[in-house]
Chain A
């Protein structure tokens, strides 16, 4: 969406008044406006609210129904055990437990490590892409209760979306979060400091594929660079980085608007060619959805896709778990 400041102001006021706006129809749900808002407001949450109220779903009806059903737990109740210490919340990515290994994660209990029951821990924020704020608000308090039941002193959120849910969405909506959360990159950085003696500079030129949900915690974005500096990886200067990042297109390709599939493809190509032009050898991910969306294209172009946690493990002399 290419609009100037005045148009943006006019449209957000229309949206705030509950009126229709072309923004509600053309929003690709990239979350970026959450980061851009100079007033610290939540324009994206408002857009989603109005899209639902005015029945302007960005996705076709069957995909919304499918997505909503996907978050329904169906394999029994979670096994709640008290932790009384730090814990990693891998939530709805329990099938990525293969990443959680090695010295960095030594002794760290994991909440939601059973893929059969992971949707009991699903933060639901994905439904922002579906214009279904009501689903988030209905389900999230129960998820919070389930996590709180583990009594962890610190909940390290594996995925940006979980961190964003408990540190941006919940405060914005007045939902109480009775546990303390830590961003995954902050945890990785601090663990690397503890393991500093093991670090051998990687001397790799890396690019970071920023996920949409990281827009909900821009204050943690600096850890990407802090980690790279610590492990001797050079973050290559890119056109599409930081505030100017463009998403992986995963949430766009299924949207109703004409050309969405091609737009998603184009965004991936732009990202990869930008990384290539900048001389990146490696592309770092935190979000598994971004990873799976882009890994083939990156590999074809000779850029190695790798999770940030694996890159950190590589820096302390361990073998990466590799993607699956």
Chain B
């Protein structure tokens, strides 16, 4: 493991440790090696780097003071939500202060009528889900396939998608407003809340885009207002199967045309054997009555896909009540050692066949059981396509294969006309090498303007 550099410029470590204690209290700062060790790791293949301090603030004002301290001493600050990105996005590449935001976990408000939730940045997906189930059973949010410990703000900050991606798009499209601590310490609000109104809309005020997709390099999101959606009494999953990957874009197109589904995911994987070589669709349906459910099933499976079934090209496998979130993490069990990482891309749906075939080739070349998945975003406007690679954490050779496979896949994603979703450092460099030079210059200017000391999550999105 690479050890963290000592604070880059100025600042006696002991003084900084004491200053951090003064800000958040001794129970919420650590410089103990065993704790720094834990925070040095990402769950994927990224090489670990130790932070110098781990701090767990409770308020935006505490974060503000930490940022002031970091600027004075030019110390890197790395915000951490659930720590589940897998791409090394919260690995402290240059040491510094790792901000574990999980203590900021208050659900401040749920507005039943305007359908939004105002959350602190440490609120997890599972926490929000269970809160809504208990207190607001008629509301739901777009829950991603990540484990429930993933934070809502972290997911939005990387343009995540969830199980309402088909009707409502990316989770970052569901933001009504943000509170952000800027890299220079100012606390800013965006959306209707910035003029003292409720947190019910982001529009038509200045955009929050400079904080989404930047991996915490432009500020620390401390509050988020997220749109909620109607939750029907019956929710469940129907399965449809085809054996020709060329048919997948058409099936996506037909199902989205009905506008009857909540979520549409296509997948194929070596393990278990039944899924190998076939393309399974999980189609989430929701209804308030059996009548509504049957109406939706009829439109999708009898009308839109009926000719597939009658020709024998596609099969309906029934509807099961209750949602199971498709967790890519199950792939970790594909081989001994429990490791996995994936490359995600935002890709035109028409590229599914090529993504599947080329991904399978890469997996097979590296001796890894293949696992691919495409989640429909919007009315098939795009899909999030992921290629997952399992490895044995105790076997460096399998980790090397997984890492090489992911680098090849990063390149493949761009070659096929997609963009890389939440790229790690390698993917970021590939994206920036292709970025429009003027866009790149604008990014650099924005970064310099917002973060003149370059303290925010350094290593990520560093424009050369």
Write the residues of chain A forming the contact surface with B, with a CB cutoff of 8 angstroms: 57, 59-63, 65-67, 69-70, 72, 74, 250, 253-254, 256-258, 260-262, 265, 293, 296, 300
Instruction: Specify which chain B residues have a CB less than 8 angstroms from the CB of A296 in the assembled complex.
Output: 321
Enumerate 27 A-B pairs (CB-CB under 8 Å) in ascending A order.
A60-B241, A60-B309, A61-B243, A61-B312, A62-B241, A62-B242, A62-B313, A63-B241, A63-B315, A63-B317, A66-B274, A69-B273, A69-B275, A69-B276, A69-B277, A70-B272, A70-B273, A72-B273, A74-B272, A254-B309, A254-B316, A254-B317, A256-B309, A256-B311, A258-B306, A262-B298, A300-B290
A258 and B306 CA atoms in complex are apart in Å by 8
Contact A59 B315 (CB under 8 A): yes
Q: Does B314 contact A (CB under 8 A)?
A: yes
Instruction: Specify which chain B residues have a CB less than 8 angstroms from the CB of A250 in the assembled complex.
Output: 318
Which 5 residue pairs across A and B have the least CB separation, nearest first? Answer: A63-B315, A60-B315, A70-B274, A62-B243, A62-B241
Cβ proximity bits B124-162 to A, threshold 8 Å, 1 near / 0 not? 000000000000000000000000000000000000000
User: Given contacts A62-B242, A74-B272, A296-B321, are A262 and B302 in contact (CB under 8 A)?
Assistant: yes
Other A-B pairs beyond A61-B243, A254-B317, A265-B294, 12, CB < 8 Å: A57-B312, A59-B315, A65-B278, A66-B315, A66-B317, A67-B274, A69-B273, A69-B276, A72-B273, A74-B273, A256-B309, A262-B302
Instruction: Specify which chain B residues have a CB less than 8 angstroms from the CB of A61 in the assembled complex.
Output: 243, 312-313, 315
Contact A253 B314 (CB under 8 A): no
Instruction: Specify which chain B residues have a CB less than 8 angstroms from the CB of A262 in the assembled complex.
Output: 298, 302
Instruction: Specify which chain B residues have a CB less than 8 angstroms from the CB of A65 in the assembled complex.
Output: 243, 277-278
Contact A60 B314 (CB under 8 A): yes
A70 and B314 CA atoms in complex are apart in Å by 17
A59 and B272 CA atoms in complex are apart in Å by 21
Closest CB of chain B to A301's CB: distance in Å? 11
User: Which residue of chain B has its CB nearest to the CB of A257?
Assistant: B310
Q: Does B297 contact A (CB under 8 A)?
A: yes
> Which one of B243, B311, B312 has the greatest number of beta carbons of chain A within 10 Å?
B312
Closest CB of chain B to A309's CB: distance in Å? 23
Q: Does B229 contact A (CB under 8 A)?
A: no
Contacting residue for B278 out of A57, A66, A260, CB 8 A: A66
Contacting residue for A69 out of B274, B306, B310, CB 8 A: B274
A60 and B301 CA atoms in complex are apart in Å by 13
Could you tell me how many residues of chain B have their Cβ less than 8 Å away from some Cβ of chain A?
30
User: Given contacts A63-B317, A70-B274, A261-B301, are A256 and B312 in contact (CB under 8 A)?
Assistant: yes
Instruction: Specify which chain B residues have a CB less than 8 angstroms from the CB of A253 in the assembled complex.
Output: 316, 318
User: Which residue of chain A has its CB nearest to the CB of B297?
Assistant: A261
Contact B318 A60 (CB under 8 A): no
A296 and B319 CA atoms in complex are apart in Å by 11
Chain B positions 210-253 with a Cβ under 8 Å from a chain A Cβ: 241-243
Q: Does B271 contact A (CB under 8 A)?
A: yes
A258 and B303 CA atoms in complex are apart in Å by 11
A61 and B243 CA atoms in complex are apart in Å by 8
Closest CB of chain A to B76's CB: distance in Å? 45
Contact B315 A62 (CB under 8 A): yes
Q: Does B37 contact A (CB under 8 A)?
A: no
A300 and B294 CA atoms in complex are apart in Å by 16
> Which one of B242, B276, B318, B321 has the greatest number of beta carbons of chain A within 10 Å?
B318
Chain B positions 273-326 with a Cβ under 8 Å from a chain A Cβ: 273-278, 290, 294, 297-298, 301-302, 306, 308-318, 321
Write the residues of chain B forming the contact surface with A, with a CB cutoff of 8 angstroms: 241-243, 271-278, 290, 294, 297-298, 301-302, 306, 308-318, 321
A256 and B298 CA atoms in complex are apart in Å by 15
Closest CB of chain A to B241's CB: distance in Å? 4
Instruction: Specify which chain A residues have a CB less than 8 angstroms from the CB of B241 in the assembled complex.
Output: 60, 62-63, 66
User: Which residue of chain B has its CB nearest to the CB of A250?
Assistant: B318
User: Given contacts A66-B278, A261-B316, are A74 and B271 in contact (CB under 8 A)?
Assistant: yes
User: Given contacts A61-B313, A62-B241, are A261 and B302 in contact (CB under 8 A)?
Assistant: yes
> Which one of A62, A253, A258, A261 has the greatest number of beta carbons of chain B within 10 Å?
A62
A67 and B276 CA atoms in complex are apart in Å by 11
Contact A60 B274 (CB under 8 A): no
A262 and B134 CA atoms in complex are apart in Å by 35
A80 and B289 CA atoms in complex are apart in Å by 49
Instruction: Specify which chain A residues have a CB less than 8 angstroms from the CB of B275 in the assembled complex.
Output: 66, 69
Contact A62 B302 (CB under 8 A): no
Instruction: Specify which chain A residues have a CB less than 8 angstroms from the CB of B314 in the assembled complex.
Output: 60, 62
A314 and B297 CA atoms in complex are apart in Å by 38
Closest CB of chain A to B299's CB: distance in Å? 12
Instruction: Specify which chain B residues have a CB less than 8 angstroms from the CB of A72 in the assembled complex.
Output: 273
A74 and B275 CA atoms in complex are apart in Å by 12
A254 and B241 CA atoms in complex are apart in Å by 10
User: Which residue of chain A has its CB nearest to the CB of B241?
Assistant: A62
Instruction: Specify which chain A residues have a CB less than 8 angstroms from the CB of B302 in the assembled complex.
Output: 261-262
Closest CB of chain B to A2's CB: distance in Å? 22
Contacting residue for A60 out of B271, B294, B312, CB 8 A: B312
User: Which residue of chain A has its CB nearest to the CB of B272?
Assistant: A74
A60 and B241 CA atoms in complex are apart in Å by 9
Contact A258 B271 (CB under 8 A): no
A250 and B275 CA atoms in complex are apart in Å by 20
Instruction: Specify which chain A residues have a CB less than 8 angstroms from the CB of B242 in the assembled complex.
Output: 62
A74 and B276 CA atoms in complex are apart in Å by 12
Closest CB of chain B to A248's CB: distance in Å? 11
Closest CB of chain A to B42's CB: distance in Å? 29
A59 and B318 CA atoms in complex are apart in Å by 13
> Which one of B273, B301, B314, B315 has the greatest number of beta carbons of chain A within 10 Å?
B315
Instruction: Specify which chain A residues have a CB less than 8 angstroms from the CB of B278 in the assembled complex.
Output: 62, 65-66, 69
User: Which residue of chain B has its CB nearest to the CB of A68?
Assistant: B274
Instruction: Specify which chain A residues have a CB less than 8 angstroms from the CB of B317 in the assembled complex.
Output: 63, 66, 254
A149 and B298 CA atoms in complex are apart in Å by 49
A65 and B244 CA atoms in complex are apart in Å by 12
Instruction: Specify which chain B residues have a CB less than 8 angstroms from the CB of A261 in the assembled complex.
Output: 297, 301-302, 316
Instruction: Specify which chain B residues have a CB less than 8 angstroms from the CB of A59 in the assembled complex.
Output: 312, 315
User: Which residue of chain B has its CB nearest to the CB of A259?
Assistant: B302
> Which one of A59, A60, A254 has the greatest number of beta carbons of chain B within 10 Å?
A60
A261 and B243 CA atoms in complex are apart in Å by 20
Closest CB of chain B to A271's CB: distance in Å? 16
User: Which residue of chain B has its CB nearest to the CB of A292?
Assistant: B320
Instruction: Specify which chain A residues have a CB less than 8 angstroms from the CB of B313 in the assembled complex.
Output: 60-62
A30 and B426 CA atoms in complex are apart in Å by 56
User: Which residue of chain A has its CB nearest to the CB of B244?
Assistant: A62
Closest CB of chain A to B337's CB: distance in Å? 16
User: Given contacts A74-B272, A261-B302, are A256 and B243 in contact (CB under 8 A)?
Assistant: no
User: Which residue of chain B has its CB nearest to the CB of A258?
Assistant: B310
Instruction: Specify which chain A residues have a CB less than 8 angstroms from the CB of B312 in the assembled complex.
Output: 57, 59-61, 256
Closest CB of chain A to B73's CB: distance in Å? 54
Closest CB of chain B to A324's CB: distance in Å? 12
Instruction: Specify which chain A residues have a CB less than 8 angstroms from the CB of B321 in the assembled complex.
Output: 296
A29 and B361 CA atoms in complex are apart in Å by 39
Contact A254 B273 (CB under 8 A): no
A66 and B278 CA atoms in complex are apart in Å by 7
